[in-house]
Chain A
Amino acid sequence: MARIELKQIAHSYLPKPEAESDYALRRHDHVWRDGGAYALLGPSGCGKTTLLNVISGLIQPTEGRVLYDGEDVTDLPPQRRNIAQVFQFPVIYDTMTVYENLAFPLKNRGIDAARIEARVGEVAEMLELTPYLRRRAMALGADAKQKISLGRGLVRSDVAAILFDEPLTVIDPHLKWQLRRKLKQIHERYHLTLIYVTHDQNEALTLADQVAVMVEGEIVQVGTPQDLFEDPQHTFVGYFIGSPGMNILPCAVEPGAAVVDGQRIPLDGRLSDKAGTVQGALELGVRPEYLSLAESGANGAVPVAVKRVEDLGNYKIATLSLGAHTIKAKLPEDQDVPGEQAFLTFPPERTKLYADGRLVA
């Protein structure tokens, strides 16, 4: 069990990084709570693997310190940190049996045979690998191999945190949920700190109690799935979480309103005042769930053209165009959508403003 703290951490794969874009991990602070189950979401190449490797010690960060429970471990190699890591493709030692695979990390640490036997037995039992202990690991399926990789982390009684780098990518869909459930059990039983990288937001939302979203080498938001849904701190979070994602429209701001293609969209007065004080390109963000569509123009509604309506059973998705921009609205299934022209209402309390991708609040 450990609280993992990153202090002013930054990493670049280049020998002499100069511009900010040279960094795979941009300088930032972050704390992973002791015993938390985190999902780490983000687009390809945003630095998720780099971040995990910095935490586990496979990579020495260019700048900053890594602390486990307040103790500085930045200069320790991975085997001296109480950490386990499971990779995208299962890593097993081909010529060893399942038992030998699980015993390997303990053997390397000079632990006595009786203790190894007890630990391996316990972990194998939990991962349902007991019947295979004497089998060659190489002959087993991808899911069993991935369990072995995980097991090699769990056998060490000192392990404080387990890092997963998209561990279920190569697992058959029908086995995925079993493994996911197993992971949840393990987390509940050992209260390990768990950081789980995934591309799949469903996986992230079912497994983790906290979701961290990373963009361009930086963690932009950590929160419960609900926080991420209701209060995206970054346009990427809005766009990535939810289906369909948040509508993001470039805009200008006037007192009490955002202007998109000449149309005034009412904004919270406090927000429009703030907009004058921030730097960067402004964008308006609103979730499709909060928009409402009507045939006639109510107060503050803007005229839109209806391009397409998809009926998805218990709701409808309307694709609308406002000037040059496309907007999606999620509507109740019983609503009749007008054929061509309609009026869209943006609720001011749900309409967010972003400057250079970051929430203006």
Chain B
Amino acid sequence: MGKWEDNKAWFLVLPVFVLVAISAIIPLMTVVNYSVQDIFGPGERYFVGIEWFEEMLANKRLHDALWRQFLFSGLVLLIEIPLGVLIALAMPKRGWGVSVSLVLLALPLLIPWNVIGTIWIIFTRPDIGLLGVAINGLGVEFDHTAAPLDAWITVMLMEVWHWTPLVALLAYAGLRAIPEAYFQAARIDGASPWAVFRYIQLPKMRGVLTIAVLLRFMDSFLIYAEPFVLTGGGPGNSTTFLSIYLVKLSTAMDVGPAAAFSIIYFLIILLFSWLFYQALQNVGTGDRQ
């Protein structure tokens, strides 16, 4: 046959293969390479096997950062997904209000990430920031550079402000794509607004919400620039998320452990994205006996 082996069409796949190799496979393999060696300097290295992995998995500070990261991403999903859906439901369906609300929503998404951190530093400063002064003026002590809880609240607020619009835009697109006949049938069937949401709008948003959950999970799990600019990981280690810790490690020239850590990090994201994807694809689709 020779259909597979000799086929010239393989050459057509070559450019994609080269691109993926350069953009993903080669960098990833470099990391794998570092993760199993101890490097003292150019040419001075020896193979350590899974030692770095063992060291990292036993690292207390890594555990703390990991739990912090799960808490953060969990809160992000719990707040941003429902809030985004609510905003999408409340958005106008036609007329000039549509473009106005779309532009307003898109604004936070257009600002560079490190600038977001700076904006929020100034916004929440207890001495000159609009929000900081307002809260302290109410008699509540609020300082994200001193109190861990305040730092968390500020980081969460910033994250929600920054990324909920993305969820809202996705959800809005999903809602607009539902054919009018569904709502007409629901009216004839006497469905309440809640039933319309529960049985029409929510199931029809499955696709876009899957994307929203995956994007927000991956992105929040990788968060770096905004909290780094805002709190630098502090006070103490209270907002040191995984990637901030990873950067601290690798800039301390511990390339081996940092590489091992990166791979663990990558596998966690892969695993959870897969779990979310499976769960969202399958919820409410099986037969009932």
Residues on A lying within 8 angstroms of B by beta carbon are 53, 56, 58, 77-79, 83-85, 87-89, 91, 93-97, 104-105, 108-109, 134-136, 138-139, 149, 152-153
Segment with Cβ contacts to A, from B82-90, B190-198, B215-223, B250-258: B190-198
A93 touching B289, Cβ below 8 Å = no
If A87-B181, A134-B289, A136-B287 touch, whether A93 touches B187 (CB-CB below 8 Å) is no
A136 touching B285, Cβ below 8 Å = yes
Residue among B185, B191, B285 facing the most chain A CB atoms (10 A cut-off): B185
Contacts of A93 in B (CB 8 A): 199-200, 203
B199 touching A96, Cβ below 8 Å = yes
Select one of A77, A139, A149 contacting B185, CB under 8 A: A149
- Number of chain B residues close to chain A: CB under 8 A: 22
Which chain B residues in 163-192 approach chain A with CB under 8 Å? 179, 181-182, 184-185, 187-192
Q: Is B60 an interface residue (CB 8 A)?
A: no
Besides A56-B188, A91-B182, A152-B185, 17 more A-B contacts (Cβ < 8 Å) are A53-B184, A58-B184, A58-B188, A78-B187, A79-B187, A79-B190, A85-B188, A88-B181, A89-B181, A91-B185, A94-B199, A94-B203, A95-B203, A97-B287, A109-B190, A134-B287, A135-B287
What is the CA–CA distance of A85 and B288 in the complex, to the nearest angstrom? 28
If A94-B204, A96-B199, A108-B190 touch, whether A85 touches B287 (CB-CB below 8 Å) is no
Residues on B lying within 8 angstroms of A by beta carbon are 179, 181-182, 184-185, 187-192, 195, 199-200, 203-204, 284-289
Select one of B184, B191, B199 contacting A95, CB under 8 A: B199
Contacts of B182 in A (CB 8 A): 91
Closest to B185 in A: A91
Tell me the smallest distance from the CB of A103 to a CB of chain B, in Å.
10
If A89-B181, A93-B200, A94-B203 touch, whether A78 touches B284 (CB-CB below 8 Å) is no
Contacts of A105 in B (CB 8 A): 188-190
Contacts of B189 in A (CB 8 A): 79, 104-105, 108, 152
What is the CA–CA distance of A136 and B288 in the complex, to the nearest angstrom? 7
Tell me the smallest distance from the CB of A232 to a CB of chain B, in Å.
33
Contacts of B181 in A (CB 8 A): 87-89, 91
Q: List 10 A-B contacts (CB under 8 A).
A: A77-B187, A79-B189, A85-B188, A87-B181, A87-B184, A89-B179, A93-B203, A94-B203, A104-B189, A136-B287
A136 touching B286, Cβ below 8 Å = yes
Tell me the smallest distance from the CB of B182 to a CB of chain A, in Å.
5
